[in-house]
């Protein structure tokens, strides 16, 4: 992106931030920010109604520093890699803490019931990254299906030009995402069918996708009106909510777009993977904990499924070159970059700051997590 475009983007965001809760100008409250958030920071730093304690380095905040500096704070802005928001943190902060704002959609690092018990509001950043994550979800489906990892490595290592490279009509072939003469129907499956899943589905329609199936939380009520509307809008032959066994059996490409946590931990395990089609592709752009990595590596090695495209992996970022999934040639893995566009990250930072400031002054937070004690 050009410097002019970036300046315009930042100026638009800054104008919005400087208008927040100006009527509280006589109040000064302490807030702790655990990472410099780039161009979203200046309006916050210029505020006269808050005392800002900012972690000074461009790396994850040290917990010892945070526990020392959060004393007496009314609010704290965190990122997922920094720390767990738990009783230890609340004890260090003291009774003034009013809000925890996280620059993320996920909030597994926050003890939400504990926050509710203590009357502490939680802000997060949903919605703003929907389009960016949907984009990369499609990218990974194409990369995994078309053997991008193997093909790119061959070119990068200079092996394509060697005399012993042999080509044949089916060299590098993989399953096509779109429909074709030999495959006139294609079924995409979604584990989780929220905003990002629906945005991903809309991007798949030009590929000729004919059927969509999905599973949702057992506690959620079926939304037949929404499903009928999506089916008509996208001219699909079928759009059905199904059980998890049917999802595994029928999906040509399966997209994991479900929250993390205990309810979805290793939901995709060996038993699930064995039910999938040998030519199917699995894409995970949600949470690494949803997939049993060892089981997926086995499924790829023994060809239970064709390939996998991963933006998230359990245990990240401690993923070394000898990780079972890194060793699998049909696994394409990127380092959790689903929201990594200039526009999206700026929007996330802006939302996180908005949540922080509105929260400490008792205003309406742009994106507040609804809690129950």
Query: What residues are labeled active site?
Result: 287, 316, 336
Is 308 in contact with 334 (CB distance < 8 Å)? Answer: no
H/E/C letters for each residue in 203-236? HHHHHCCCEEEEECCCCCCCCHHHHHHHHHHHCC
Residue 254's nearest CA partner among 202, 208, 213 is: 213
For residue 61, the 8-state DSSP code is: P
Secondary structure of residue 69 in the 3-state scheme:
helix
Cα(121)–Cα(98) distance, integer angstroms: 6
Residue 213, CA distances (Å) to 197, 220, 345 in order: 11, 16, 31
Residue 231, CA distances (Å) to 35, 173, 234, 240, 259 in order: 43, 31, 5, 9, 24
Residues contacting residue 364 through CB under 8 Å, at least 6 positions apart: 358
Residues contacting residue 199 through CB under 8 Å, at least 6 positions apart: 130, 131, 133, 134
What is the number of alpha carbons within 13 Å of residue 252 lying toward its C-beta? 20
């Amino acid at each position: 992106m050009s410097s002019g475009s970036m300046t315009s983007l930042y100026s638009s965001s800054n104008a919005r931030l400087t208008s927040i809760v100006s009527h509280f100008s006589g109040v000064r409250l302490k807030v702790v920010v655990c990472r410099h958030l780039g161009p979203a920071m200046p309006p916050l730093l210029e505020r006269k109604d808050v005392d800002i304690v900012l972690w000074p380095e461009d790396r994850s905040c040290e917990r010892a520093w945070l526990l020392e500096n959060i004393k007496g704070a009314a609010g704290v802005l965190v990122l997922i890699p920094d720390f767990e928001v738990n009783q230890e943190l609340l004890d260090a902060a003291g009774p003034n803490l009013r809000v925890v704002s996280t620059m993320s959609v996920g909030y597994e690092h926050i003890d939400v019931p504990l926050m509710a018990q203590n009357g502490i509001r939680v802000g997060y950043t949903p919605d703003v990254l929907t389009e960016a994550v949907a984009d990369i979800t499609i990218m990974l489906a194409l990369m995994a299906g078309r053997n991008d990892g193997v093909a790119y490595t061959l070119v990068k290592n200079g092996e394509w030009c060697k005399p012993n490279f042999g080509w044949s009509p089916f060299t590098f072939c993989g399953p096509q995402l779109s429909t074709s003469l030999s495959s006139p129907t294609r079924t995409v499956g979604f584990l989780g069918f929220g905003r990002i899943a629906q945005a991903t589905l809309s991007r798949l329609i030009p590929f000729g996708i004919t059927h969509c199936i999905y599973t949702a939380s057992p506690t959620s009520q079926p939304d037949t009106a929404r499903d009928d509307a999506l089916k008509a809008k996208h001219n699909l032959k079928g759009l059905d909510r199904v059980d998890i066994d049917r999802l595994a059996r029928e999906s040509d490409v399966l997209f994991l777009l479900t929250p993390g946590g205990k309810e979805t931990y290793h939901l995709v395990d060996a038993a699930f993977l064995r039910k999938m089609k040998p030519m199917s592709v699995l894409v995970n752009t949600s949470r690494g904990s949803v997939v049993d990595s060892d089981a997926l590596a086995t499924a790829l090695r023994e060809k239970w499924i064709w390939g996998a495209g991963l933006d998230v992996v359990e245990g990240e970022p401690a993923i070394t070159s000898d990780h079972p999934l890194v060793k699998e040639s049909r696994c394409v893995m990127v380092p959790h970059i689903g929201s990594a566009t200039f526009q999206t990250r700026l929007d996330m930072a802006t939302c996180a700051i908005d949540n922080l400031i509105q929260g400490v002054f008792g205003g309406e937070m742009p994106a507040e997590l609804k809690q129950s004690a």
